[in-house]
Amino acid sequence: MSTRSPDFLRESRIYLKFLGPAMMEGEIREALRILIREGSRRFGKPRPAALAALDAVLDVERLEALCDRVVKSRAKTWDDLFRRWSHFVDEEPAPHPSSIVEMILRDGREIGRFKVLRRALRRFGTMRFGEPDSDAEFEISHLEPEDSDRIDALLERLHDPDLETWDDLWRES
């Protein structure tokens, strides 16, 4: 049985919208898997802090360059590899594992804020306009954590007495 999507789906805008990011995610996952495999052969199993630092790298080229570095460098440990990081990129050095944890916590807080804002928008909008129609549900379900400030503004707009429908809410946002 084929796992490939049917032709009609592969030509849709929705498919194309998700294809690029999914492909990039697949590339990143595979590059990271190879890097960890090769690094583990050379340095042993990475500690959680090293795994967190590696997981923070979301650029395939950087992961592949780091993998090449594992194979070609004189590094003897994961820590040594991270200390030598700045030698293979012109940009900033690898983040220290503790800053990775801070970054993850910051992201977690932002995602938590987003989830609460989105639930509040659905709840308060339902109280004001009734259950969302399919268009409003589509809009709500496609909000992303980056839209938190927009959601906050929409919540403020719910106090506008001139708004009568979900469409009115979306129209001027």
* Model confidence pLDDT, tens digit, residues 77-132: 888 887 766 544 444 455 555 665 566 566 767 877 888 888 889 888 998 999 99
Count how many Cα atoms sit within 13 Å of the Cα of residue 116 in the half-sphere of its side chain. Answer: 6
What percentage of residues in the chain have a pLDDT greater than 90? 22
User: Tell me, what's the pLDDT at 168?
Assistant: 94
Please tell me the pTM assigned to this model: 0.46
Residues with Cβ within 8 Å of residue 134, at least 6 apart in sequence: none
Q: Tell me 161's DSSP state.
A: T
Residues with Cβ within 8 Å of residue 163, at least 6 apart in sequence: 128, 129, 157, 169
Owner of token pair 């997981």: 55
Pair 5, 40: CB distance under 8 Å: no
**pLDDT above 70 (res 4):** no
